[in-house]
């Protein structure tokens, strides 16, 4: 007589059969995270037992205290500035209809996903010593100034990158205002200030905690911007200090200690973000004013004119100056450089491989989650499949790179396999964005089609071909394109592991900026932007299909 297996074992085996790709991915990422964390603890001056003495060092060590203070200062000011500017910009876009508005909204997305080094180059082209502003002031007899480098430059770059993103989030909130509110405001004859304080601001502030938390994390872990525009030790953050301790000082205990300190702060910020998390959808804002009363007062027109001036200075001018500077060059000898073509090849390899690996990880996790949900199973693995992205978000790419360096340096030549390590880290760093993009699509797909598939007996490869793929291909194309673009323009990890054989376009642009070769830098920046967004469009079209909506 055959004895039935224990219920717990049979249930475990059923769960494994349903979701083994997700369990394998989850286990791999979890073991890797534990190994990286152990490597950091083992190399740190303090070890696991003395971990909490790191916070005592903030008070006792002047250097750590200064870089921690500056990290918080620049992140706070950058977040505050981006949000304060984004509020009137969002109101302007909501209440005014004009030609080119949709193109402006696309430029807002462009600024957010643009490679950071291109954004930095655009800021230098406008505000640098040989920039547009200094050229303008010299016409009136003023001397050229160097106000850019330091906190000012960091703030300008962060505003350029994240103000448009914030404005689109607020615009999305404004578009959700019910039409009844506007009909009532007309009947009551509310002024523009009353409309803002009683209708628009209460709606906009719903997304403020989650948006501010997200921006603070992005600014706190900013690397390329601070490294390029910091200007010296007085404007150093924890992220840059980790890089310097490993790349220049080769002080591994100090680097590991700083990495753990950075990790602990990011954990706190991520928990805060999770506490106030709302669904942030960047791509839904269309800029349609709906039934909002027309703002026709002189004050409104004056305020909107000021917003246009701010947009021109903060966004349009840095973006356009890069292309103008490139197309007005007479020396294009950079195209004869073998390093440029090696950088282009390496950038494409990194982007395509990282996006492919991130897509495999994401689909393994989310499809496994759907399989469990279809069978009414909601265990620990079910919840971890989607929340693993938040765990990765805690660990900045430079901290993860530091941990991998410590973990692997005794077994392989790190710099020989630098490109492989970089693409793997980039794939993991893209995972949270892909999970956020694909999770709603897969959840909706399961709810809409599960009963139909069961009733018609559609399963396996037939379900994937007939039902799942047509529904999933557009969000998958968008997510994979975003992952490839982020990896194509990433500079953080390549700065740590890069060498003469692993040059990428962002690294080449950084070296051109550091060597004051602005002519070469402008050409490289244009190449980087054109290829990055050409790659985005190609992947989105290839995977998403002919009728993908941008």
Provide the residue count of the chain.
550
- Do 222 and 99 belong to one domain? yes
**Residue 167: pLDDT over 80:** yes
Measure the CA–CA gap between 368 and 381, rounded to whole angstroms: 9
**Predicted structure pTM score:** 0.83
- The helix or strand, by DSSP H or E, that contains position 25, with its residue range, turns out to be helix 7-43
Q: Of residues 271 and 4, which shows the higher confidence score?
A: 271
Q: How many domains does the chain have?
A: 2
Cβ-based neighbour number of residue 25 at 10 Å: 21
DSSP 276: T
Q: How far is CA 40 from the centre of its chain?
A: 25
Give residue 431's domain range: 333-550
pLDDT digits (tens, 9 = 90+) for 248-305: 777 777 777 888 888 888 888 877 766 665 555 544 545 455 566 676 777 878 888 8
Whether 291 and 390 share a structural domain: no
Supply 308's token pair. 């246009």
Average pLDDT, rounded, for the chain: 80
Q: Which residues contact 424 (CB under 8 A, 6 or more apart)?
A: 354, 357
What distance in Å separates the CA atoms of residue 533 and residue 527, rounded to the nearest whole number?
A: 10
pLDDT value at 155 more than 90 = yes
Closest to 397 in 3D by CA, of 361, 358, 423: 423
Residue-wise burial string across 108-143, b where 16 or more C-beta atoms lie within 10 A, e elsewhere: bbbbbbbbbbbbbbbbbbbbbeebbbbeeeeeeeee
Mark out the alpha helices in 222-291 (DSSP H runs).
224-229, 238-247, 252-275
For residues 268 and 381, membership in a common domain is answered with no
Give the Cβ contact number of residue 76 at 10 Å.
14
Question: With contact defined as beta carbons under 8 Å apart, do 472 and 441 qualify?
Answer: yes
Confidence of residue 44 (pLDDT cuts 50, 70, 90): low
> 1 pLDDT exceeds 50?
no
What's the Cα-to-Cα distance from 446 to each of 51, 96, 311, 358, rounded to whole Å? 44, 39, 42, 22
pLDDT in tens, 480-536: 888 899 889 888 888 878 777 778 888 888 888 877 777 788 888 888 889 988 898
Predicted confidence (pLDDT) per residue in 364-396, tens digit? 888 888 777 776 777 776 677 777 776 777 778
**Last residue of a domain, which of 321, 342, 363?**
321
Residues 255, 355, single domain; the answer is no
pLDDT at 478 over 50: yes
Any idea which of 183-197, 332-346, 459-473 has the lowest mean pLDDT?
A: 459-473
| Tokens representing residue 130 in the block | 């040989």
Nearest-Å Rg of the Cα atoms of the chain is 25
Check residues 100 and 540 and name the one with the higher pLDDT: 540
Comparison of pLDDT for 403 and 464, the residue scoring more: 403
Q: Are residue 349 and residue 383 in the same domain, yes or no?
A: yes
Q: DSSP code of 294?
A: P
Q: What is the dihedral of CA 540, 543, 548, 550, to 10 degrees?
A: -10
Question: Do 313 and 451 belong together in one domain?
Answer: no
| 5-14, 129-138, 383-392, 534-543 — most confident range | 534-543
274 and 352 belong to one structural domain: no
CB atoms under 10 Å from CB of 162, counted, come to: 25
Q: What is the dihedral of CA 207, 211, 213, 215, to 10 degrees?
A: -170
Of residues 463 and 409, the one with the higher pLDDT is 409
pLDDT at 4 over 50: no
The verdict on residue 346 lying in a domain is yes
Distance from C-alpha of 491 to C-alpha of 425, rounded to nearest angstrom: 12
Per-residue pLDDT band at 550 (split at 50, 70, 90)? very low
Task: Report angle CA 39, 426, 219 to the nearest 5 degrees.
Answer: 85
- Are 104 and 244 in a shared domain? yes
**Do 261 and 350 belong to one domain?**
no
Per the CB < 8 A criterion, the answer to whether 498 and 507 are in contact is yes
pLDDT at res. 293: 67
Q: How large is the average pLDDT for residues 334-341?
A: 84
pLDDT digits (tens, 9 = 90+) for 46-79: 555 555 566 666 667 788 888 889 999 999 999 9
Query: Following DSSP, what letter does each residue of 361-422 receive, concatenated?
Result: HHHHHHHHHHHHHHTT---HHHHHHHHHHHHHHHS-HHHHHHHHHHHHTTTS-TTTTHHHHH
- Residue 377 makes CB contacts below 8 A (sequence gap 6+) with 15, 18
Chain centre to alpha carbon of residue 431: 11
- 49-58 long-range Cβ contacts below 8 angstroms, 24+ apart: 51/260, 54/257, 54/260, 54/261, 54/264, 55/261, 57/257, 58/261
CATH number of the CATH domain containing 290:
1.10.3720.10
Question: How high is the pLDDT of residue 59?
Answer: 61
Instruction: Read off φ and ψ for residue 100, nearest 5 degrees.
Output: 90, 5
Could you give the CA distance from residue 149 to residue 516 in angstroms, rounded to a whole number?
14
| Residue 540 to residue 246: CA distance in whole angstroms | 37
Backbone angles phi, psi at 446, to 5 degrees: -65, -40
Residue-wise pLDDT for 71-82, tens only, equals 999 999 999 999
Q: 209 with 278, same domain? A: yes
Tens of pLDDT, residues 103-127: 888 888 778 778 888 888 889 888 8
Q: What is the pLDDT of residue 2?
A: 47
31 belongs to a structural domain: no
Same domain, 302 and 376: no
Percentage of the chain with pLDDT > 70? 84
428 in the same domain as 314: no
- For residue 138, being part of any structural domain is answered with yes
pLDDT at 267: 81
Residue among 232, 216, 281, 225 at smallest CA distance from 76: 216
Q: Answer with the one of 293, 321, 349 that is the final residue of a domain.
A: 321
């Amino acid at each position: 007589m055959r004895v039935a297996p224990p219920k717990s074992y049979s249930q475990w085996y059923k769960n494994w059969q349903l979701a083994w790709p997700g369990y394998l991915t989850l286990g791999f990422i979890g073991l890797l995270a534990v190994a990286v964390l152990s490597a950091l603890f083992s190399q740190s001056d303090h070890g696991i037992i003395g971990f909490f003495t790191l916070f005592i060092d903030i008070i006792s060590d002047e250097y750590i205290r200064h870089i921690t203070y500056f990290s918080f200062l620049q992140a706070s000011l950058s977040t505050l500035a981006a949000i304060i500017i984004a509020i009137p910009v969002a109101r302007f876009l909501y209440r005014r209809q004009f030609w080119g508005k949709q193109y402006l909204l696309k430029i807002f997305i462009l600024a957010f996903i643009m490679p950071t080094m291109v954004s930095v180059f655009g800021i230098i082209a406008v505000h640098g010593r040989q920039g547009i502003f200094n050229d303008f002031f010299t016409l009136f007899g003023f001397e050229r100034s160097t106000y850019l480098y330091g906190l000012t430059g960091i703030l300008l770059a962060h505003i350029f990158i994240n103000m448009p993103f914030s404005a689109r989030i607020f615009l999305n909130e404004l578009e959700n205002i019910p039409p009844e509110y506007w009909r009532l405001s007309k009947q009551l004859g509310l002024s523009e200030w009353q409309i803002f304080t009683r209708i628009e601001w209460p709606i906009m502030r719903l997304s403020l905690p989650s948006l501010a938390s997200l921006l603070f994390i992005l600014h706190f872990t900013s690397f390329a911007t601070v490294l390029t525009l910091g200007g010296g030790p007085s404007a150093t953050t924890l992220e840059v200090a980790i890089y310097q301790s490993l790349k220049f000082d080769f002080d591994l205990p100090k680097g590991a200690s700083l990495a753990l300190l950075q990790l602990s702060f990011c954990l706190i910020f991520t928990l805060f973000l999770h506490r106030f998390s709302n669904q942030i959808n960047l791509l839904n804002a269309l800029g349609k004013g709906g039934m909002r009363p027309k703002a026709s007062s002189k004050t409104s027109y004056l305020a909107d004119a000021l917003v246009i001036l701010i947009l021109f200075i903060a966004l349009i001018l840095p973006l356009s100056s890069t292309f103008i500077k490139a197309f007005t060059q007479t020396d294009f000898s950079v195209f004869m450089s073998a390093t440029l073509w090696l950088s282009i090849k390496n950038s494409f390899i990194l982007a395509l491989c990282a996006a492919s690996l991130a897509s495999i990880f994401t689909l393994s996790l989310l499809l496994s989650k759907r399989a469990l949900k279809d069978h009414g199973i909601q265990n620990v693995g079910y919840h971890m499949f989607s929340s693993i992205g938040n765990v990765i978000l805690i660990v900045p790419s430079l901290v993860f790179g530091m941990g991998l360096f410590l973990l692997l340096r005794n077994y392989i030549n790190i710099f020989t396999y630098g490109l492989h390590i970089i693409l793997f880290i980039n794939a993991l760093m893209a995972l949270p964005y892909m999970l956020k993009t694909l999770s709603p699509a897969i959840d909706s797909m399961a709810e809409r089609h599960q009963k139909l598939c069961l009733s018609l007996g559609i399963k396996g490869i037939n379900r994937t071909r007939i039902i799942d793929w047509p529904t999933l291909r557009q969000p998958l194309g968008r997510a994979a394109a975003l992952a490839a673009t982020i990896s194509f323009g990433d500079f953080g990890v390549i700065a740590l592991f890069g060498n003469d054989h692993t040059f990428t376009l962002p690294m080449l642009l950084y070296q051109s900026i550091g060597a004051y070769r602005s002519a070469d830098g402008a050409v490289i920046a244009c190449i980087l932007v054109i290829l990055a967004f050409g790659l985005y469009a190609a992947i989105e079209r290839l995977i998403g299909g002919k009728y993908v909506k941008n």
